[in-house]
Structure 1
Amino acid sequence: MNEVEVIRSGALGGVAHGFLGRRGGVSTGIHAGLNVGIGSDDEPDAVTKNRARAVEAVLPGANLVTVFQIHSADVVAVTAPPAERPRGDALVTDRPGLLLGILTADCAPVLFVDAAAGVIGAAHAGWKGAIGGVTDATIAAMETLGAKRERIAAAVGPCIARASYEVDDGFLANFATDDPANERFFAPGKPGHHQFDLEAYVVARLAAAGLTRIEALGLDTYADEDRFFSFRRATHRGEPGYGRQISLIGLEG
């Protein structure tokens, strides 16, 4: 069995973390690899085993905490493993032994740490959550636990890249209405369409919020089928389902 691939960010320093893809899992078929999506139509036993493998690859023995993601800016502060997944799109904690997990399949996963304060965060930034302020809300929630934004480092993991993310005029209009400067994140496409740079937009939001240590990994989930699941790729192929990868961060006890 292949080992789980753990992609790390230098910006996050020594905190236990990893952006995982599809390598190293037990799922087969269209979900082949490390599919951790409870909501997918993969075999539940395979998903459970994949989640266990993900935890062991990043912070062995930790309690995995994930959310029921709803493309919002809602942040959940966790102090203990919840009985069931809370609804939201970001997690923060200052408690060792909790491994915060965000699932993606083209959306941008963002991991945060203030090492001096011992506070971490993880956010799911699809386009709706990103423009809605999920990263800003995560930073604010970390501050309530004692973090200081001038110390917070953030890393943006594998997500769909501009070359792969075609959108229409209405999509661009949403962003331009929110802030005319957002047009810089769109490149010309075929008539009536544009190529959106989600990663650059998320990085800009992080910088505007006052963060100075930001790393973007520049990995395209759509284009790199061997390493990552992609909702849009599966949709373009007419496949009946798709896998989800996980990004993790935790404090050692």
Structure 2
Amino acid sequence: MSPLLFRKPAIFAAFPELIAAESTRHGGVSLPPYASLNLGGSTQDNPDAVAENRRRFYAGLGISADQVASSHQVHGSEIWQTDQPGREQGHDAVVTDAPGVFALVTIADCTPILIYDARNKVAAAIHAGWRGTVSKLVAKTLSQMQESYGTKGEDCYGYVGTCIDECSFEVGTDVADHFDSVYKRFDEEKQKFFVNLKEANASQLRDFGVPANQLEISSYSTVLNNADYFSHRAEKGVTGRLVAIIGRKS
């Protein structure tokens, strides 16, 4: 991967009105262990460096920080539905139908999911760690979009983003017991389970009726591609944060 600030999911390329991207760890000013494009304000990084990183990221997308809607995430299943930018507390999904407002979530191993209802012009950004995945936050968000805007699966395009991969997400029974067998495998040698978060979230999009050809799953891993992405697990908790963002231009 070239050292770019972000990748744009190909699934959204057909919509010129849309801005959707997932950041990398490249192109910022933060020093190790946050090198270099740390976008997370909750880290112990220099706040001035984070602010400059955010300025660069938003400028690269052609937007500004005052157009962003985000929330302090708590690994829960609350959804913030908004037509205004700003910062909330306690939500792990952000939904908007307002042009010029961009839904954003922060990640460092958890799964980012971006959704666009092309008919009703609604965008959603979701942060799903294992708790958000088993609480079916993607399905809950889609249901709320259906109730509020008339969203249908056939009109949605979805991106399941870069996160910890199945061969790196080693868990005990305390976590594995929450997942259906199709999303986990048991390793006899390690006596541990391995969970596939990408597939567990992608299935919620498919179950809502999102066609397979309107769904993209990132081929990257925060762990295996740690040179390009921050990983909380691979870097033992001391690392930067990535973001995933989506919204319509003004």
1:92–1:141: 8 Å Cα contact kept in structure 2? no
Matched residue of 1:248: which SS? strand
The one-letter code matched in structure 2 to 1:25 is: G
After TM superposition, the score normalised by the length of structure 2 is: 0.90
Structure 1 distance, partners of 2:199, 2:222, is 15
Which residue in 1 is equivalent to 2:51? 48
Mean Cα deviation higher: 56-65 or 104-113: 56-65
Greater CA drift, 204-213 or 99-108: 204-213
1:81 is the counterpart of 2:111 = no
Question: Contact between 1:104 and 1:246, CA under 8 Å: does it hold in 2?
Answer: yes
Report deviation, 1:109: 0.3
- The alpha-carbon distance between structure 1 residues 165 and 3, as it changes in their structure 2 partners (threshold 3 A), is closer
Q: What is the Cα deviation at residue 4 of structure 1?
A: 4.0
1:206 matches 2:205: yes
Superposition deviation, residue 51 in structure 1? 1.4
After TM superposition, the structure 1 = structure 2 runs for residues 1-253 of structure 1, keeping only pairs within 5 Å, are 4-13=4-13, 14=15, 15-61=18-64, 63-82=67-86, 84-143=87-146, 144-175=148-179, 182-189=180-187, 190-212=189-211, 213-235=214-236, 241-253=238-250
Normalized per residue, the structure richer in helix is 1
* 2:5–2:37 CA contact under 8 A, matched in 1: no
Percent identical residues: 27
* Cα deviation, residue 120, structure 1: 0.5
Runs of 4+ in 1 over 4 A off after TM superposition: none
CA distance in structure 1 between the partners assigned to 2:149 and 2:53 by the alignment: 31
Match for residue 179 of structure 1?
none
Q: CA deviation at 1:210?
A: 2.0
Q: 2:71–2:91: 8 Å Cα contact kept in structure 1?
A: yes
Aligned to 2:185, the other structure's residue is in SS state strand
User: How many pairs are equivalent?
Assistant: 241
**Residue number in structure 2 paired with 1:178:** none
In structure 2, relative to structure 1, the CA distance for the partners of 1:171 and 1:117 (3 Å cut) is same
What is the root-mean-square deviation in Å for CA atoms of aligned residues? 1.7
Shift of 1:3: 6.5
Kept in 2, the 8 Å contact 1:59–1:99? The answer is: no
Q: Does 197-206 or 101-110 show the bigger shift? A: 197-206
